[in-house]
Amino acid sequence: MLRLPLSPAAIVWMLGATQILGYGTVYYSFAILAEPIARSLGLSVSTVFGLFSLSLLVGGVVAPFLGGRMDRHGAPTVMAIGSVAVAGLLAATAWAPGIVGFAIALTALQTAAPAILYDAAFTTLVQAGDTGARRRITHLTLIAGFASTLFWPLTSWLAAHMDWRGVLLVFAALNLVVCAPAHMLIARAPSRTGRAVPLAEPDAPAAPAPAASEAAPLLPEAIAGRVYGLMTLGFALSGFMLSALLAQMVPALTALGLGSAALVVSTLFGPAQVIVRFADMFVAGRRDPLLVTLFAMAMFPLAGVILAATAPSVAGAAVFAVLLGFGSGLKSILQGTLPLALFGRAAYGARLGRMTLARQFLAAAAPFLFAWILERLGATAALLSIAAVGIAGLACFVEIARLRRPDPNAAPPGRP
């Protein structure tokens, strides 16, 4: 089969486009379509969101398996197959005749979704055959960050001209006609090392060695397992806090007395994500990813404490939204780059898959728990409780930094 050469920049732009379409069609669109789906099936909107949350949990369960397939067969190949599967399952969801059929199709859709989203795209960039994966991951998240900005209004416009089933069929066509061919092209493209993009074939000849920070783990075997557990827990706890606040941001700000300013303040979150990703684009590779992670994780509890301490100040709420956006924008990048820096390229896809499983379980429960505390104990107690979770997440990375610190009593290399 003909292999068309693709530059790393071309691969990033192609993946950026497919990530916008992927997240837009299988994730962000449901915020708009939940109400018409509920009316059509005779359900409450909360029930539709409950089914959606359950389907995300199931998707998290299969993420480690899909990550292993990416390591073995190459992430672009998995993404190409995933795009075809997602297209078919979007169509199946659109054609579902009743509640049970809808729930089954939606669950199957979110089971296939990890094959086309960030973990798969990050693994593709890591498997691309040369150095610079961290920089390209940063560029990718910058492009893909526009998914909600584009798909919320696009979905609203489509829903005004057709029913929700028609919208899902349009989205199925986009995945089949745009995403699947793009992923197939990437899968067949020679990398800059002269090999196809997938680097997972068991008997493939070795490619030129990438930078040390991407080629090999930097951790002693004795602490690698503990560091991985702390990293997984830290990202999951910060994801819990972020999921809770994003799901209930406007109600929480309103409960704190901001009134109509609550919605305006919440719009600062998105631009803050873009700004911090632009900033990271210029320093990627020049800063230790763990140091950047400590900065990002500190943003989450700091944002919560500032909001609780300054409410109902609009200025304080604005600082909260910006800090939360900074943390969220960096977190999306670091979930791909920190595992690479700490553990290298080996089994990268499976490692991300296991992290996704932990994040999905905690993130799915977060909105319900935060809403429960908000209703019973008030907004201030809810914010301080969620900030405590963020502090626990930050503590995980502080412990990783401590474990990575060289032992001053250890013998120098080459000495007994």
Query: Domain containing 237 — which CATH number?
Result: 1.20.1250.20
343 Cβ partners below 8 Å, 6+ apart?
Answer: 217, 219, 224, 228, 351
155 occurs within a structural domain: yes
Residue 412 lies in a domain: no
Number of domains, the chain: 2
If asked whether residues 268 and 135 sit together in one domain, one would say: no
Q: Indicate the SS3 state at residue 101.
A: helix
> Does residue 200 sit within a domain?
no
Tell whether 353 and 221 lie within a shared domain: yes
Burial 69-79 (b: 16+ CB within 10 A, else e): bbbbbbbbbbb
Of 160, 195, 230, the position where a domain reaches its end is 195
Structural domain for 141, as ranges: 8-195
Render each residue's pLDDT in the chain as its tens digit; 416 residues.
Answer: 445 567 888 899 999 999 999 999 998 888 788 889 999 999 888 788 888 888 888 888 888 888 888 888 888 999 999 999 999 999 999 999 899 999 999 999 999 999 999 889 988 988 876 567 778 888 898 888 788 778 878 988 999 999 999 999 999 999 999 999 999 999 887 654 434 444 444 334 444 444 444 544 567 777 888 999 999 999 999 989 988 887 677 778 888 888 878 878 877 887 888 888 888 877 766 778 899 999 999 999 999 999 989 988 899 999 999 999 999 889 988 988 898 888 887 788 888 888 888 888 888 778 778 878 887 888 888 889 989 999 999 999 999 999 887 655 554 444 44
Same-domain pairing of 134 and 262 = no
Please give the pLDDT value at position 190.
63
Q: How far apart are CA 175 and CA 85, in angstroms?
A: 9
Q: pTM of the predicted model, to two decimals?
A: 0.78
> Looking at 195, 230, 249, which one is the last position of a domain?
195
Question: What pLDDT, on the 0 to 100 scale, is given for residue 1?
Answer: 41
The answer to whether residue 388 is domain-embedded is yes
273 within domain boundaries: yes
Whole-angstrom distance, CA of residue 330 vs CA of residue 74: 26
Distance CA 88, CA 110 (A): 12
Together in a domain, 305 and 231: yes
User: Are residues 17 and 165 part of one domain?
Assistant: yes
Residue 207 lies in a domain: no
Looking at the structure, do residues 341 and 263 belong to the same domain, yes or no?
A: yes
Whole-number Å distance between alpha carbons of 336 and 122: 6
On whether both 188 and 289 belong to a single domain, the answer is no
pLDDT at 219: 72
Q: Say if 303 falls within a structural domain.
A: yes
d(CA 153, CA 330): 25
Distance of alpha carbon 131 from alpha carbon 216, whole angstroms: 12
**Helix/strand/coil (H/E/C) assignment for every residue in 184-217:** HHHHHCECCCCCECCCCCCCCCCCCCCCHHHHCC
53 falls within a domain: yes
Same domain, 147 and 238: no
Is the same domain home to 175 and 44? yes
Alpha-carbon distance of 198 to 128, in angstroms, equals 7
Does residue 168 share a domain with residue 33?
Answer: yes
d(CA 115, CA 99): 26
Partners of 107 in beta bridges? none
Residues 225 and 149 in one domain: no
Q: Are residues 108 and 162 in the same domain?
A: yes
C-alpha span between 321 and 300 (Å, rounded): 10
Element (H, E) at 99: helix 99-112
CA torsion, ordered 320, 324, 325, 326, to nearest 10 deg: 100
| Burial of 365 from C-beta contacts in 10 A (0-12 / 13-18 / 19+) | middle
CA–CA separation, 379 and 340 (whole Å): 38
